[in-house]
Chains A and B, each alone.
Chain A
Amino acid sequence: MDCQLCGKRPASIHYTELSGSAAVEYHICQECAQEKGLFKAAGGHVKVSVPDLLAGMASASAAQEASLANVVCPACGETYAEFRESGRIGCGECYTAFAELLRPLLRRIHGSTQHAGKRPSDFRPAAPAPKSDLARLREELRRALEREDFERCAEIRDRIRKAGEASGAT
């Protein structure tokens, strides 16, 4: 398969970009990827460049953008502007400080914003758990709907109802 950009060299990087429900596929060669700055290559090691993803995101107006740039993490002092520049988060607290700004990025990268994997063995949920359980169940419901597993949907819906009652929510 030839590179979609230069049409000459064989494509060696294949990736799918998710935006909302649409998936766009790219097949490009290493040289073009480097040239276009789509990936950062160091000694053949290819990484998705977060700053470029950020730049590519249809985000806020210039004025909003300027005010976002000054959001700062109270723990390590990293600003959102610095994160945009480097693509690297400063510390665990940054995730709370930049939460609203990170959410669309995480959805774009992973197609989800809810952790569904393991927890540390000593983890004790600090806040009342039902809310995050609910979020987890809703995410699961969304996925079951996507794969049209209606039996599973009904099951999850029952569990959501129960979790809602337990937490006193209506």
Chain B
Amino acid sequence: MSTEREKARQPGTKGLLERMSREPAAWMAGDGPSAGIVLSSRVRLARNLQGVPFGARAKEEEKERVIAETRTASREAASLRGSVYVDVSSLSEIDRHLLVERYLISRDLAAESGSRGVIVGQDEGLSVLVNEEDHLRLQGIASGYQIEAAWRAVDRLDEELSRRLGYAYSDAWGFLTACPTNVGTGMRASVLVHLPALVLTKEIGRVLHGVSQVGLAVRGLHGEGSEVMGNFFQVSSQATLGLAEPEMVQNLIGVTRHLIENEEKAGEVLLRDARAEIEDKVFRSYGILRHCRVISSEEVMSLSSALRLGAQLDLVGSVKAGTLNRMLILTQPAHMQRTIRGGDGAISRDQKRAEIVRALLAPDPSTN
């Protein structure tokens, strides 16, 4: 057991966390199709090993066994070449939150105790969460509107791992999971979408209502409060029994296309009916972000949403989706805390955040 601990402290973890606090992952590059509206496409698969009790009932030594077997299998999986195993139980609270902000571990996994970790693929596009409520949560994440690509990558990883790990599976009920809401395919496919024009035109309720009617769940992206932040919504598949994975993926692709079209239409309406007001909103936000000296993460979230709308409507040609993604990711609380830890102690988090935001939006990064 102790050797597992030692292995977890291999240099890979430190370097990985260090890089994360400075650089966004490849899937945040904002270069996928419709990346202005769809930030990311994600598919996760819940899996458990045969003959081992699930998360809540597993003893410590059983959890260690799950970790050891999974790590062995992952070393032979081509999709995980160059991956790093991060022992979450040995991380500081800040670093655990850093992984939450990267979408690599859940808040539940960050808060729990006991042996648990995450295998992080080379560019963070693939990862395997070990010992959450299920033994394994495989995740594939892609930039922009690429649900199919995310599914194909995680499906391949699943094939590779299932050749080496005996999954708990029944032909009637599929992959067996700790929560009956996941049994079957164990799949949840989701997209993170930015829908400011639909919110401004007050069409959002109608559109989201339609989404919920076809069996998909929608939730606002919440900050520390309960208010929906930055006009971001997560749309995800729900049912895991009775439908094959490709059918579910197609459902989500279709619904997301519908959302993109509606958001674009709403954007056109805004430009036609309220161009001056929209331009004013966009450029005021741009101005504050360009020149702020102290700024909270909530304010970055809301102002960058307006700026993202401006970029989407071609009002601010020089601002790219990738820059805005970078801003969102790197100015989150745990990212900030890690950045500051290494630097000048006199500067507050909100000051440092303002510095990063200004640097990202400077016409020439050398002059700010």
Binding site for B on A (CB under 8 A): 1, 10-16, 25, 27, 30-31, 42-48, 50, 75-76, 78, 86-92, 95-96, 102, 105-106, 109-123, 125, 129, 132, 135, 139, 143
Contact = CB atoms under 8 A, between A and B. Distances in A.
Nearest to B185: A117
Given A111-B239, A113-B242, 16 more contacts: A1-B209, A13-B219, A14-B209, A42-B111, A48-B181, A50-B180, A50-B181, A88-B56, A89-B178, A91-B54, A106-B241, A109-B241, A112-B241, A115-B173, A120-B162, A120-B175
A121 B156 CA distance: 11
B212 A112 contact: no
Contact of A112 (B158, B181, B223, B239): B239
Contact of A121 (B51, B53, B163): B163
Contacts of A13: 219
Contact of B171 (A75, A102, A109, A132): A132
Interface of B: 48, 50-57, 106-108, 111, 133, 155, 158-159, 162-163, 166-181, 183-185, 187, 205-206, 208-209, 211-213, 215, 217-220, 222-223, 226, 228, 238-245
A92 B205 CA distance: 40
Contacts of A115: 170-175, 184-185, 241-242
B200 to A, nearest CB: 14
B178 to A, nearest CB: 5
B208 A89 contact: no
A111 B209 contact: no
Contacts of B107: 42-45
B301 to A, nearest CB: 13
Contact of B173 (A25, A106, A120, A123): A106
A135 B185 contact: no
B181 A25 contact: no
A72 B54 CA distance: 16
Contacts of B220: 12
A113 B241 contact: yes
Nearest to B206: A1
B180 A102 contact: yes
Of the listed residues B53, B177, B178, B187, the one surrounded by the most CB atoms of chain A closer than 10 A to its CB is B53
Contacts of B158: 118
B120 to A, nearest CB: 21
A33 to B, nearest CB: 10
A138 B187 CA distance: 23
A95 B168 CA distance: 10
B353 to A, nearest CB: 21
